[in-house]
């Protein structure tokens, strides 16, 4: 079999990362099934013969393979030192892992890309996973970026926090913070210490009077000129020094200011600086136990009964910023060690979650191919890191703490997993007479609106490991008659399954009508036979626990209230409802606030802007009294009465 890697001199002279980017999947670079060109791939009459023909022709070479579904969608991406041995292992009869069995049932074709070594295979695998997000890969269920505190580059710098490094703001970033609580706590402390603004640039530019932050002494109101640029810049420099861990320098600056204020008999200002110094001293006392030299991410793994728990402890500037537990998915084609699981997780973590590579990566297991992983991360981030297994002193304390958290998280997860496993087994038993399909992935849809207003469709995803929040989706409904749930459901399903593969079980919140709409959509797309379609309707009196399951070609099933299968259906359905109604309320409230103001006679764009700036937003305006509204410049008693009635009636 010919390799897809060019060996001409121009390619050989390219940097490593550039050469890998040349090998992204394309019509010329992929070595597919190796069958004649006129052989259809996903429409082959005998899927097993087609797969068998592919397996016979696989090379005993390193590379990356892609498992494809019936419509050509990518289900799974993997790497192998020997493509022939690795890919063939998926189709032996001894596979017991339910997720792997569910994957194999959906494979209609296989594509491979040959590479020259392990490092290239690692990089190409992660790039393909990141680009295509296959549903069956060993990836993270919740792959949100970590939070960072930032100081913007504006003339009057803004202090804030957000996910990802530099996604929306240019400036200095500090972190990462594994939890939102840690980032918010740091931001609140910074505001109390240095009184930097945290408002958006649009809000800052529109201010004509100080906001509430100034009143509670968390901002010096640079928006209205109550602080000079030089003084504000000094506060910014102190804030950056503080975030860099240079607390001693910040203390010296504050002590000098306190003494100068006292010498000028400005005792109120001196007390202000004294309180700031006290705040820093108290914080240093609390953090003393954690403040040790080093910058590292610490990974500890724990595994039992098919569940993997990995705790990631984040240390920056010698300070423990927090930790987070992960429960990665797993596709098993043979026994896997904790070290191998941890190596897979490291790549997923740094390619999908982290924007930051520390000086050291400390692991609880000696991961295989650590040199290749280190080289790969150096290429990805443009900085070197050291992967360490044997550590001493405070680094060993960090690792011990991470292990303790990983073990504790595993114990908690095992209880939840056992209950979830029992619910999936009960559902499979209930549906045995309806379909022989293995049920691993469930997708559920719900529509939420208020009398047809601001309709939102939601899709939530569950599998045998629990919720898959990274696969959740929300759909804004457009161009339908208000309140037409059938049209809304049709629009959402069309938009979803024109691009996405079907799950094993497609669950619709509703009765026979919604079921008929879903059936028509799948027939229109030609994929009705690729899933088990079920609608769940409220029973008598619409009471929870009396739900009825409706099918296309089977009699309805009325499950008893104590059925674990019913509990799983209700759990998925309720999560879809929660996800939809949360998004709907945000959309509705935003639309109501802006639209009501726009239709009030005599309230033009300038007055609307003045109102919102005065109160700080539509929520505060709705909570204001008629007298308070009338006090705004340009708003008299008559117009205030009209505005108040429009907002409340």
Q: Taking Cα atoms as reference points, which of 64, 159, 69, 156 lies closest to residue 112?
A: 64
Q: Give the confidence band of 159 by pLDDT, cuts at 50, 70, 90.
A: confident
* Helix or strand (DSSP H, E) at 299: strand 296-304
Query: In whole angstroms, what is the distance from residue 362 CA to residue 387 CA?
Result: 6
In a domain, 336, yes or no: yes
Q: What is the DSSP letter of 179?
A: S
Q: Taking Cα atoms as reference points, which of 416, 385, 409 lies closest to residue 324?
A: 409
Please tell me whether residues 281 and 301 are part of one structural domain.
no
Please tell me whether residues 324 and 395 are part of one structural domain.
yes
Give the model's pLDDT for residue 596: 66
pLDDT in tens, 214-262: 877 788 889 988 889 888 988 888 888 777 766 666 677 777 778 777 8
Q: Tell me the angle at which helices 247-263 and 229-243 cross, rounded to the nearest 10 degrees.
A: 140
Give the mean model confidence (pLDDT) for residues 497-523. 90
Residue entry with tokens 């063939």: 88
Least confident of 13-22, 186-195, 210-219: 13-22
| Other C-beta atoms lying within 10 Å of the C-beta of residue 63 | 27
User: Is-cis flag, bond preceding 271, omega within 30?
Assistant: no
Is residue 37 pLDDT above 70, yes or no?
A: no
Contact criterion met (CB below 8 Å) for 411 and 404: no
Please tell me whether residues 151 and 224 are part of one structural domain.
yes
Domain boundary among 97, 132, 167: 132
| Other C-beta atoms lying within 10 Å of the C-beta of residue 432 | 9
CATH number at residue 641: 1.10.150.20
What are the counts of helices (DSSP H) followed by strands (DSSP E) for the chain?
22, 19
Q: Tell me the angle at which helices 512-525 and 485-497 cross, rounded to the nearest 10 degrees.
A: 30
Please tell me whether residues 64 and 89 are part of one structural domain.
yes
In a domain, 71, yes or no: yes
Share of the chain above pLDDT 70, in %: 82
Query: In whole angstroms, what is the distance from residue 107 CA to residue 34 CA?
Result: 16
Please tell me whether residues 280 and 302 are part of one structural domain.
no
In a domain, 30, yes or no: no
In a domain, 507, yes or no: yes
Give the model's pLDDT for residue 141: 60
Q: Give the confidence band of 284 by pLDDT, cuts at 50, 70, 90.
A: low
- Cα three-residue angle 158-161-167, rounded to 5 degrees: 95
In a domain, 379, yes or no: yes
DSSP string, 610-621: HHHHHHTSHHHH
Please tell me whether residues 370 and 458 are part of one structural domain.
no
- Host domain of residue 602: 596-647
3 state DSSP class of 149: strand
Please tell me whether residues 478 and 380 are part of one structural domain.
no
Give the model's pLDDT for residue 597: 73
Please tell me whether residues 283 and 357 are part of one structural domain.
no
Q: Taking Cα atoms as reference points, which of 207, 201, 199, 212 lies closest to residue 223?
A: 207
CATH number at residue 67: 3.40.1440.10
The residue ranking higher by pLDDT, 13 or 333, is 333
Please tell me whether residues 217 and 330 are part of one structural domain.
no
- Cα three-residue angle 233-234-237, rounded to 5 degrees: 85
Signed CA dihedral, 359, 360, 361, 367: sign only: positive
Residue entry with tokens 């001293």: 281
In a domain, 246, yes or no: yes
Mean pLDDT of the chain: 79
Residue entry with tokens 């603004």: 197
Give the model's pLDDT for residue 435: 84
The pTM for the full model equals 0.57
Contact criterion met (CB below 8 Å) for 607 and 635: yes
Contact criterion met (CB below 8 Å) for 77 and 128: yes
Residue entry with tokens 């293995």: 438
Q: What backbone torsions phi and psi does residue 522 show, to the nearest 5 degrees?
A: -65, -35
Q: Tell me the angle at which helices 393-430 and 564-598 cross, rounded to the nearest 10 degrees.
A: 100
Please tell me whether residues 523 and 580 are part of one structural domain.
yes
Query: In whole angstroms, what is the distance from residue 408 CA to residue 610 CA?
Result: 53
Please tell me whether residues 561 and 600 are part of one structural domain.
no
Give the model's pLDDT for residue 403: 92
Least confident of 397-406, 417-426, 490-499, 542-551: 542-551
**Strand runs labelled E in 400-452:** 441-450
Q: What is the DSSP letter of 89?
A: G
- Cα three-residue angle 135-139-143, rounded to 5 degrees: 105
517 alpha carbon, distance to own chain's centre: 31
Query: In whole angstroms, what is the distance from residue 375 CA to residue 371 CA?
Result: 6
Residue entry with tokens 């490291």: 346
CATH number at residue 347: 3.30.420
Contact criterion met (CB below 8 Å) for 335 and 271: no
Give the mean model confidence (pLDDT) for residues 484-506. 90
3 state DSSP class of 642: helix
Please tell me whether residues 273 and 217 are part of one structural domain.
yes
Signed CA dihedral, 244, 250, 251, 252: sign only: positive
Contact criterion met (CB below 8 Å) for 158 and 197: yes
In a domain, 543, yes or no: yes
Burial class (CB within 10 angstroms; exposed 0-12, middle 13-18, buried 19+) of 274: middle
Q: Give the confidence band of 362 by pLDDT, cuts at 50, 70, 90.
A: very high
Query: In whole angstroms, what is the distance from residue 239 CA to residue 190 CA?
Result: 7
* Helix or strand (DSSP H, E) at 266: none
Reported for 520-528, long-range contacts at CB under 8 A and 24+ positions apart, including other chains, are 520/490, 521/490, 521/493, 521/494, 521/497, 522/493, 522/497, 524/494, 525/494, 525/497, 525/498, 527/70, 527/71, 527/497, 527/502
Q: What is the DSSP letter of 364?
A: S
In a domain, 391, yes or no: yes
pLDDT in tens, 58-70: 999 989 999 998 8
Number of structural domains (the chain) is 5
* Helix or strand (DSSP H, E) at 462: strand 453-463
Burial class (CB within 10 angstroms; exposed 0-12, middle 13-18, buried 19+) of 286: exposed
The residues facing 115 across adjacent strands are none
Q: What is the DSSP letter of 85?
A: H
Give the model's pLDDT for residue 311: 92
Helix extents (H) in 542-617:
564-598, 605-615
3 state DSSP class of 193: helix
């Amino acid at each position: 079999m010919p390799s897809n890697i060019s060996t001409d001199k121009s390619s050989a002279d390219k940097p490593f990362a550039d050469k890998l980017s040349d090998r992204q999947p394309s019509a010329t670079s992929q070595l597919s099934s190796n069958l004649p060109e006129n052989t259809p791939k996903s429409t082959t009459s005998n899927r097993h013969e087609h797969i068998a023909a592919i397996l016979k022709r696989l090379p005993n070479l390193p590379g990356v393979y892609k498992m494809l579904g019936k419509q050509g969608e990518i289900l799974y991406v993997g790497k192998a030192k020997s493509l022939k041995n690795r890919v063939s292992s998926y189709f032996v009869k001894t596979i017991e892992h339910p997720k792997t069995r569910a994957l194999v049932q959906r494979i209609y074709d296989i594509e491979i890309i040959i590479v020259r070594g392990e490092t290239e295979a690692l990089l190409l695998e992660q790039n393909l996973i990141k680009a295509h997000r296959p549903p069956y890969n060993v990836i993270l269920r919740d792959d949100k970026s970590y939070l960072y505190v930032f100081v913007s580059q504006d003339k009057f710098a803004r202090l804030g926090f957000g996910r990802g490094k530099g996604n929306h703001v240019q400036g200095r970033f500090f972190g990462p913070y594994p939890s939102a609580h840690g980032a918010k706590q740091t931001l609140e402390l910074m505001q109390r210490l240095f009184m930097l603004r945290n408002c958006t640039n649009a809000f800052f530019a529109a201010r004509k009077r100080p906001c509430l932050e100034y009143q509670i002494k968390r901002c010096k109101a640079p928006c209205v000129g109550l602080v000079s640029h030089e003084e504000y810049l000094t506060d910014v420099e102190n804030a950056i020094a503080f975030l860099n861990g240079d607390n001693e320098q910040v203390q010296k600056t504050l002590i000098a200011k306190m003494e100068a204020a006292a010498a000028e008999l400005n005792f109120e200002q001196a007390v202000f600086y004294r309180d700031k110094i006290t705040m820093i001293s108290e914080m240093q006392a609390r953090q003393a136990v954690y403040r040790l030299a080093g910058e590292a991410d610490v990974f500890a793994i724990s595994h039992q009964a098919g569940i993997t728990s990995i705790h990631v402890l984040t240390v920056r500037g010698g300070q423990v910023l927090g930790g987070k537990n992960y429960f990665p998915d797993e596709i098993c084609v043979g026994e896997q060690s904790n070290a191998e699981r941890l190596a897979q997780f490291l790549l997923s973590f740094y390619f999908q979650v982290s924007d930051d590579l520390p000086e050291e990566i400390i692991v609880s297991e000696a991961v295989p191919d650590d040199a290749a992983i280190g080289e790969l991360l150096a290429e990805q981030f443009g900085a070197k890191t050291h992967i360490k297994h044997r550590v001493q002193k405070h680094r060993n304390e960090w690792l011990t703490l991470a292990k303790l958290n990983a073990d504790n998280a595993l114990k908690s997860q095992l209880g939840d997993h056992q209950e979830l496993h029992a619910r999936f087994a009960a559902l499979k038993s209930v549906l045995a007479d309806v379909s022989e399909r293995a049920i691993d992935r469930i997708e559920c849809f719900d529509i939420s609106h208020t009398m047809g207003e601001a309709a939102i469709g939601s899709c939530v995803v569950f599998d045998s490991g629990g919720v898959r929040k990274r696969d959740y989706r929300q759909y804004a409904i457009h161009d339908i008659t208000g309140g037409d749930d059938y049209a809304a459901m049709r629009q959402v399903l069309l938009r979803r399954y024109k691009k996405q593969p079907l799950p094993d079980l497609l669950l619709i919140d509703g009765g026979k009508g919604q079921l008929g709409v879903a059936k028509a959509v799948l027939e229109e797309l030609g994929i009705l036979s690729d899933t088990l379609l079920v609608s769940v309707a409220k029973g008598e009196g619409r009471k929870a626990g009396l739900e009825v399951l409706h099918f296309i070609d089977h009699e309805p099933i009325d499950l008893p209230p104590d059925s674990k299968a019913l509990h799983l259906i209700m759990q998925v359905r309720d999560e879809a409802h929660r996800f939809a109604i949360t998004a709907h309320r945000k959309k509705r409230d935003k639309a109501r606030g802006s639209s009501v103001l726009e239709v009030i006679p005599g309230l033009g764009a300038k007055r609307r802007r003045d109102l919102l700036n005065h109160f700080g937003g539509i929520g505060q305006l709705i909570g204001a009294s008629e007298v308070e509204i009338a006090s705004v410049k340009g708003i008299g008693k008559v117009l205030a009465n009209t505005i108040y009635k429009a907002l409340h009636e």
